[in-house]
Amino acid sequence: MQIFDRYTNLLDWTKCKENHPRVLGRTLDGSPIACWQSGGDKKPAIFISAGSHSTEQAGVTAAVELIDQLETDHQIYVIPCRDPMGMNGFPYVLSLSLGEEPELGSVEDSEEILKDSGEVLYQDEETLLVIIGEYGYSTSGLYGRFFPGEAFLEPLVGRRIFFPSSAEGIEGTAPFQRAYTLVVSPTGEILHINRFHDTPWAPVEVRCTRRLMAEIQPGLTLDLHEYGGDAFWFSARHQQGDDDQVWEQKIADGIIQTVVESNTKLVEEDYLPGSFFTKGQPGVFWLNPQQRGEGLNLADFAANQYGLSFTIETGMQSGFQHRVRTSMLAAQTAVNVFERRYA
């Protein structure tokens, strides 16, 4: 179970598995947005994706592994990396504007390069934001920090802002190894790739995903993420129909049971990932996108349009192999319960 340093490594590695992906579209740098199909013929289909947040790499590796390891008679569709550009890292995304990848040893290095090559749009004690070519670059995260429509964001409306991974000691995501992608909406709101699923304007990665979903009509959607802690949790979505709700709950129960049995730690009793979540049993959180605002993420959209959906969250502070295995275990368990519904 390997850590993919670059998106091309992921594409090369899956080549030897002799299951060729379908290209759903191309990101701004021309990278293919690749989708693999596996599993059986049975419908409804199962959709698995990961990597919309490039710092959460265990989900990406887990999704790749699941392409041929997930056991099911149902059709499986997997997009293991929803942000190929960000996965390639901060020097890479800088090269899209600079023509070559700079050597970055420290935050000071990146500040110097951004200032030398770009137009400064915003600066405070913790953050420098510039525009170079078609992209915004910042030294740290901007999500959730500004009101929509701030004047300094105007040059970046409809564009992306990249900032580097910076936390030390995260296996799979060293400082600068990944570029976190933010997207400035048409109204000047700073969001990210896991939004825009319900809006006419959306980044190409999201448009590819929702076109695929419209085609396959997934009865179960699993989006593999990671959070900053060292334990496990996941979010479920309230379903439109009673029967769907019953099965959403059954899968939630099943995932928690198998994860606990595998001796993986769940988040503490007092943990709450956000004010827009309602606690279920330990480790289970029900997400209410209306309360959050910002439109629908992939799992919200799946629940709205297609059926059962979950966002799996492993803890970045634990070992990579363990995170991958836990993510895969949660996915296999969800699929096992889902299969009982259609047995």
Which residue from 225, 237, 323, 325 is in contact with Zn ion, where contact means CB under 5 A?
Answer: 225
The interface mask with Zn ion, positions 276-315, x = CB under 5 A, is ----------------------------------------
Whose Cβ is closer to Zn ion: residue 53's or residue 160's?
53
Helix/strand/coil percent split, the chain, to 5: 35, 25, 40
Whose Cβ is closer to Zn ion: residue 27's or residue 55's?
55
CB 145 to Zn ion: min, Å? 18
The interface mask with Zn ion, positions 185-224, x = CB under 5 A, is ----------------------------------------
Return the range that interacts with Zn ion (CB under 5 A); candidates 47-55, 183-191, 236-244, 248-256: 47-55
Return the range that interacts with Zn ion (CB under 5 A); candidates 15-23, 101-109, 225-233, 284-292: 225-233
Residue nearest Zn ion, Cβ-based: 225
Whose Cβ is closer to Zn ion: residue 86's or residue 254's?
86
Comparing CA positions, the residue from 24, 160, 16, 3 lying closest to residue 79 is 24
Whose Cβ is closer to Zn ion: residue 82's or residue 225's?
225
Whose Cβ is closer to Zn ion: residue 53's or residue 237's?
53
Q: Are 81 and 53 in contact (CB under 8 A)?
A: no
Q: Which helix (H) or strand (E) holds 333?
A: helix 320-341
CB 224 to Zn ion: min, Å? 9
Whose Cβ is closer to Zn ion: residue 202's or residue 299's?
299
Whose Cβ is closer to Zn ion: residue 56's or residue 205's?
56
Our finding on whether 82 is near Zn ion (CB under 5 A) is no
The interface mask with Zn ion, positions 56-75, x = CB under 5 A, is x-------------------
d(CA 293, CA 276): 9
Q: Are 80 and 118 in contact (CB under 8 A)?
A: no
CB 134 to Zn ion: min, Å? 25
Q: How many helices (H) and strands (E) does the chain have?
A: 10, 15
Rounded (10°) CA dihedral 10, 227, 218, 189: -100
Q: Are 196 and 284 in contact (CB under 8 A)?
A: no
Site for Zn ion (CB under 5 A): how many residues?
3
To which residue do tokens 């959306």 refer?
202
3-state secondary structure 62-113: HHHHHHHHCCCCEEEEEECCCCHHHHCCHHHHHHHHHCCCCCCCCHHHHHHH
Distances in Å between the alpha carbon of 65 and those of 17, 38, 207, 223, 262? 10, 12, 25, 14, 19
Q: Are 292 and 237 in contact (CB under 8 A)?
A: no
Which residue from 21, 44, 49, 53 is in contact with Zn ion, where contact means CB under 5 A?
Answer: 53
Whose Cβ is closer to Zn ion: residue 62's or residue 128's?
62
Return the range that interacts with Zn ion (CB under 5 A); candidates 26-34, 48-56, 253-261, 283-291: 48-56
SS3 324: helix
| Interacting residue ranges for Zn ion, rule: CB under 5 A | 53, 56, 225
